[in-house]
Amino acid sequence: MLKFSVVIPVYNKAEFLENTLDSVFSQTYPHFEVIAVNDGSTDRSLRILERYKSKGLRIINQANKGASVARNNGIDHAQNAYIALIDADDIWSANHLEEHANSIKRFPDQVIYTNHYSIKWSSNTIKPAEFNLNETDQSIRCISNYFEASLKDNLIWTSAVCFKRSTFNNLGHFNSIYKTGQDLDLWIRFALEFPIVYNPNTTMIYHKGIINSLSKNEYNEVRYQLFSSYLKEEHQNKDLSLYLDQKRYGLALRTKAKDNIKLFKKTLLLIDTDRLSFKQKFLLNLPVFILNPLHKLRDFLMQKEWFLKLTR
């Protein structure tokens, strides 16, 4: 019997937490436990969590140490062989774990599985994630080249993935030095060693537009450290290098718009600019006094449905 341990890191997500928990406890697949790690929340999150104890929710309290430590802590307390993650502001469809079970039954010898997901850009706009894959193939299948598949959106998203706990332990857990991007780092480590089992059924909504999400905070030095940590592997894997160049491009654009020229120049040195499009090169060459307001305008427009229809 396949059993899952669902791990939810929680830090000040009272506004969204009930919807997330309701989606987890509404799963059609019955064989799972749920562990919430309260990462030192100062809002009503803990009180909300305690209301779900009657449904079987296990709560672990810790001082605020960040999402990576919270996830590691939850997984350390897990009792089942497969780990499914969900952030406290995302939503699962009722068949999310059932589709993971289908993927595992189809490929029982693999170690990491992901379902298709949608991205909620604003209160009125939800768009499917876009991958560099053959969209006509709707079968559950192994993807051998994660980095090529992820040149648009990431094939793996944290709230859409499940993996074998034993393999996670062997790979060394989430790296707690990263205040952001620790999940991206883990998926790179998985993808360097294992194929990814991809299920094209959409079973999760990622709330990208949430203002107080950790991913919206500025941790650009951390991003630089992460995006420069696989230089040795990049020499042997050109697809990884191209994938990281796209991430580094985004960081270079962000740091220049923020007038952090020192970090911009360091990041630019890591990028093979011959791989960038004309538009990307043009934007990187804009002066700060033009790029900064453009960057702010883009953040505003990304919340608008008509803009997303033109750009997605």
Enumerate the domain spans of the chain.
4-206, 218-311
Q: 243-278 burial string, b = 16+ CB within 10 Å, else e? A: bbbbbbbebbbbbbbbebeebbebbbebbeeeebee
What does the pLDDT read at residue 35? 98
Helices assigned H by DSSP within 88-227? 96-106, 146-149, 165-171, 182-193, 220-227
User: 4-206 in CATH: which number?
Assistant: 3.90.550.10
* Element at 228 (helix H, strand E): none
pLDDT confidence tier of residue 211, bands split at 50, 70 and 90: very low
pLDDT confidence tier of residue 213, bands split at 50, 70 and 90: very low
pTM: 0.92
Helix 220-227 vs helix 261-270: crossing angle, to nearest 10: 20
* Exposure on the CB side of residue 309, measured as CA atoms within 13 A: 5
Mean of pLDDT over the chain: 92
CA 87 to chain CA mean position, Å: 9
Helix 238-257 vs helix 182-193: crossing angle, to nearest 10: 170
What does the pLDDT read at residue 105? 98
Q: What is the mean pLDDT of residues 215-243?
A: 90
Q: Which of 214, 203, 215 is nearest to 250 (CA)?
A: 215
Q: pLDDT at residue 295 above 80?
A: no
What does the pLDDT read at residue 77? 98
